[in-house]
Structure formats: structure tokens, C-alpha cells
Amino acid sequence: MKLIKTLAFCAISTSFMFGSSSLVTKAEKNGLKPIPESKLELLKIIDDKNDPITKEKVELGKKLYFDPRLSKSGIISCNTCHNLGLGGSDGVSAAIGHKWTMNPHHLNSPTVYNSVFFDVQFWDGRSKHLADQAQGPVQAGPEMASPKSLVEKRINSIPDYVNEFKKAYTDDVKISFEKITSTIAIFEKTLVTPSRFDSFLNGKENALTKEEKKGLNTFIDKGCASCHNGIALGGTMQPFQVAAKYSFAKVGDFKGDKNSMVKTPTLRNITETAPYFHNGQIWSLSKAVKEMGSTQLGIKISDKEANEIVTFLKSLKGDKPQIVYPQLPESTINTPQPQYN
């Protein structure tokens, strides 16, 4: 009898292990990829040999990311809309910028975490990389509203910043608007959040619970991975409103790019980044899942199925890099003053 019980236990264990292995294979076949465990492998993905990541550039980029003096008013920083303590977004339906202006298209601020893995940036995909993306919000009237020349004058008027740029680059570096924003992008590249989901795909069978594995299987079977794939589980341009009209399509005037394609948001840390969709109209993750079922897949996702998928999505909450709020270098008498008009 003892032998029979032992064999039965071994059979169950083998079945469970095979099931996990099969699910990993299924996930990979459906385009899901983990964040590499190896820092060297990760660096190969996120780094640019023409402007390599260094400790000095990251620290300088972090200061610039948090510095509100990059905005015309001197009170809005990159972190205002992409708050690193709030999942990398701002927790409101539409971004609020200069002079308390709501985004004119009623667009929601996407998370900056893991944005290095996106194929494109912005909801309409108009930027291909972070360095280009970083230039947009700084200059945009409804956001930070700063002309290039104002940003350059402010940063170049602060001796400590000038010295930090020399240290991060070369003594004869030109501190241009493009150099300032590309340095911010280098910091943003480091905002990577590996999760238990990555551990599971990287071979740790028990990283996900039985319920989370079931949710992952449902996620794949329902077709969610057709858009939410890759390392980012999003970040590519996809057609929107494929099977039906989005319930809140009339909120804002955003229609996507010229081909009506919209950037698929990442699902990483999704529990922290409500409200959802480009115009931030749905606050419940379960409702967002069911909305995607009808709008994109042309299917009805039941409450049970939605809860299974949400259970899996919770496993995508990753480990955030520790960010210590920087002490910013002081302005001088030559630093252009805040402008409120």
C-alpha cells in the first residue's frame, strides 16, 4: 500500500511538472517572452552601443527626470505624469499639464516602467525609441510647454549640471536639448520590473500558483496574447475596435495613427496603472478584460474567465528598481525664471 501511494504521488508530481513545462512552451509559442535573468542578456536588449548606459548617465538622467525646471512653469517634471511611485503613471483618466490643461485628446498617461521593451512610444506610435519620445512632452503645450531653447538655457545656467554632463560624457559635450532628453531616456531604460511571471518562463515552476497558471492558460486560450505579447506584453501597434465599438469611443477624439492603429499598452504592473485604455475610462481590471473580449476578440468573456485572467495579471506586478529621490542642483541668478503664461 505504501509503495502504491508513493508511485501515485510521483505520478501526480510528474504530471504537474509536465503541465508547467507544457504551459511555458504554450506561452512561448504564443509570443510571450520573459525579462532575461542575466543582467548581461538584459543589457544586450536595452543598451545602445552608440550611447551606452553608464552609472553617471543614469544618475544624471534621473535628476533630469525629476527636475520640474524642465517645464515652462517650473512645477512639472517627467515624474508628474509618469510617477514612479504610482506604477509609472499618474492615476487619472487624462493627463494634466501646463496651466492645469487636460490633454486635448483626453489621452491617458501610459506607464514608463518597461517602456524600453516597447516597439513604439506614444498611443499613436509616432516615436520609435525613448530618446525621441522624451522630447515630445517637454515641448508640448498641454504638457510641460518648454521650448528647446528654454530647456537648454536653464540646464546650462546651472554649474553642477554642466559638470555632471562633462563627467557623464566628455569635457567638450554640447548640452543641447537632444542631449538632455536622451540622457533622461537612458535613465528610463533602467526602469525594468522583473516579476514572478518571468521567473516562471525562465524555468522556476513554482513561481506561479496553480490559480495563476490557470489564468495564464485562459489568457492564451481567449486570444489575449495575440496583441499582448513579447517581453512587454504590449508595446506594438495593433488595430483597435476590431470586432465591436469600444464602449467609450466618444470620450476624446483619438482615432489612432493614420491606419487607425493604436499602441497596445503593456500588461506589466497593470494592477497599479488604472484607469485603463487610451482615454482612461475603465477603472476595473475585470471590466477592462471583458471589454477587450468584445471589442477586440468578438467574444464574451464570462465573469469566471475574467477573474481567472485577472488572477494571472496580478503576477505581472514586478520588482521595481529602488529609486532615491535626488537632490537637484541649485539654480543661479542666470537661470531663466518660471513662466506661467
Q: Please give the annotated binding residues for heme c, written as ranges.
A: 78, 81-82, 98, 224, 227-228, 292
Residue pair 215/311 in contact (Cβ under 8 Å)? The answer is yes
- CA nearest to 184, candidates 135, 232, 151, 141: 135
What contacts 254, CB < 8 A, 6 or more positions away? 105, 106, 107, 123, 124, 278, 279
Vertex 29, ends 23 and 30: CA angle to 5°? Answer: 90
What letter would DSSP give residue 83?
A: B
Residue from 37, 41, 143, 212 carrying the catalytic annotation: 143
C-beta of residue 279 within 8 angstroms of C-beta of residue 251: yes
Contacts of 190 (CB under 8 A, 6+ apart): 46, 53, 58, 321
DSSP state of 223: T
Measured distance CA(132)–CA(92) in Å, rounded: 25
CA distance 304 to 218: 10
Has 56 been annotated as catalytic?
Answer: no
Distance, CA of 160 to CA of 331 (rounded, Å): 9
Name the residues annotated as catalytic: 143
